[in-house]
Chains A and B, each alone.
Chain A
Amino acid sequence: MKVFAIAKNTFKEAVRNRILYLLLIFAILMIGSSRILALLTISAHERVIKDIGLFGINFFGVLIAILVGIGLVYHEIDKKTIYTIISKPIHRYQFILGKYFGLLITVYVNLIIMTLFFFIMVFVLGIGFHISLLYAIIYTALELAIVTALAIVFSSFSNPTMAAIYTLIMFIIGRMNEDILRFAQYLAREADRMIQAGQQVPPFNKFLQGFTNVICRVLPNLGLYNIRAEVIHTPDKVMISWEPLFYAFTYSTFLLLIAIFIFQRRNFK
């Protein structure tokens, strides 16, 4: 109930953010312009439209989560509105959860608007609608749940500019997570080869192996949610699985616990 009240108020606050509308307009322009870009290709009209549409939805969804989210907790402290909230009979964790769900609702409302526009375009242009498009959107929604939690974590202890930079870096690393894992595996193979050849494994290799392994496991694996290539090229083979849903749930919970842990200890000077 109290979490819901804060979430509702956060949503009211977020929809007043002008950045939100700017991003939404750009997203719609981008999705809309895919038809024109498709003209530049020889035969792959459908693929280009789907590709740009899904990319636009994902890209702008992430931008909205980051740019609207980063200031939410910071501004409450900066403008001292938090004084009268924390002094009410609510726990600090309820405040963080309220902020998170309020932001998530904002992000999802925008996701729905962008998706509707994209689907209308798909129908109007007579491109065959395939259920895999919806799967891609669901995966984006799951990814956004994690990105939103990231924004809340960084917003709980740093100013908006730094929070935006941190969240963006985490997002980029998260997207490259699988590549980093592959790199770690490559390093391990190289080390094996050296041992078999009777050579000494350089300490730097060992350090890098450990480092990349830790990064892969601790930082979010957002590559899991990028199924755009499959949706466009082999739509019939796209299957939806529980694993990404479970991962998004546990990882967001983990992030929110960190945010709560930090927020619980803060002094509001």
Chain B
Amino acid sequence: MPVVRTEKLTKEYKHDFIEFEYGRMKVNFVPKKTCALIDLDLEVQQGEIFGLLGPNGAGKTTSIKILMSLIYPTKGKAWILDKSLDDVNMKAKLGYLPENPYFYDYLKGWEFLDFYGQLYGLNKSERLKRAKELLKIVGIEYAANLPLKGYSKGMLQRIGLAQTLLNNPTVVILDEPLGGLDPFGRKEMRDIILSLKEKGVTVFFSSHILSDVETICDRVAILYKGRLKALGKLGELLSAKINEWEITAEGLEESKISDLKPHIKKLITQGKEIFIVLDKPDILPTVLDRINRENARLISLVPRKETLEEYFIRTLGGNQE
């Protein structure tokens, strides 16, 4: 049973008759519409970490907001845990963290979690217990008695994650969870997401920080201008063939391989070391032979496959008009 399922999900925004764009008034005599999302079909399976990727304005946040019933789709349907989105009880098993979360800044850390616990219908002792546990998990125990007004962006993201997990959810939906975090925070967030997966929680999240996605996602969907461009396991999406060979050698003079230069993609000399990038494998034996002949030392030879970033540029690059 898919945990999250969408069918031809479409969202159109109608423009107002009078609009203000960059401080200038614009009158739309002809009714204008913008499609934020077009015919999205997705299925997220139980227990997987699913990444929703795409550049800004691709429709990631729109899809998530529809799933959270913050906005209503113009067309199409969606189900979470096999329940339709207007089923309020289904939300008791759901956790959601919005992009750049804003909270009531006058509440203290624990008061905030206590209030949200009440919305989940938890009783008082449960709420206090969960609040304490979660503040520890997200690493801001020390700020429990501080009003949220004094929290940094990273701390807000952390307490935001804590409220997401208050109800021990079976599905967690995170909108740009890694945005606004420093490298340490990003790593911790990744670890928390992975630990959720271990507990069997399905994680559905959007991101445009590709290097993070690559390391944790089971499957990804790539959105561009509201349309689904690709869907599948990362290994399947990224081309399996080796694109480049990176060779690092010591003690090889540049002049000794000058005749091969037209076939070399990149050549960098740094002190005694030389760094060669080849995009065609046919001259690899020749280069290795030269290294051997010149009594130079081969330090490393790395075959490189396509990264998600390169895939992004390859598939979406032609559409950037």
Contact = CB atoms under 8 A, between A and B. Distances in A.
Contact of B70 (A1, A12, A13, A267): A267
B116 interface: yes
B88 A87 contact: no
Contact of B121 (A2, A6, A85): A2
Given A12-B106, A89-B88, A267 B71 contact: yes
Contact of B68 (A86, A265, A269): A86
A89 B69 contact: no
B61 to A, nearest CB: 10
B17 interface: no
Contacts of B101: 80, 83-84
B106 A80 contact: no
Interface residues of A, number: 25
A41 B104 CA distance: 50
Q: How large is the interface on B (under 10, 10 to 19, 20 to 34, 35 or more residues)?
A: 20 to 34
B118 A2 contact: yes
B151 to A, nearest CB: 14
A89 B166 CA distance: 12
A220 B233 CA distance: 61
A87 B100 CA distance: 16
Contact of B94 (A9, A87, A265, A267): A87
A16 interface: yes
B119 A88 contact: yes
A90 interface: yes
A155 B146 CA distance: 30
Interface in B83-135: 88-92, 94, 96-98, 100-104, 106-107, 115-116, 118-121
Contacts of A89: 88-92, 119-121
Given A80-B102, A81-B103, A9 B115 contact: yes
B68 A87 contact: yes
Contacts of A90: 88, 119
Nearest to B87: A89
A18 interface: no
Contact of A1 (B91, B116, B118): B118
Contacts of B102: 79-81, 83
Given A87-B69, A90-B88, A80 B119 contact: no
Interface in B205-264: none
B170 interface: no
B79 interface: no
Contacts of B70: 82-83, 86-87, 267-268
Contacts of B163: 84
A13 B88 CA distance: 26
B311 interface: no
Contact of B71 (A13, A80, A268): A268
Contact of A80 (B69, B97, B98): B98
Interface of B: 13, 65, 68-72, 88-92, 94, 96-98, 100-104, 106-107, 115-116, 118-121, 160, 163
Given A13-B104, A88-B119, A89-B88, 12 more contacts: A1-B121, A6-B119, A12-B104, A12-B107, A84-B103, A84-B116, A84-B160, A86-B69, A89-B92, A89-B121, A268-B70, A268-B71
Interface of A: 1-2, 5-6, 9, 12-13, 16, 79-91, 265, 267-269
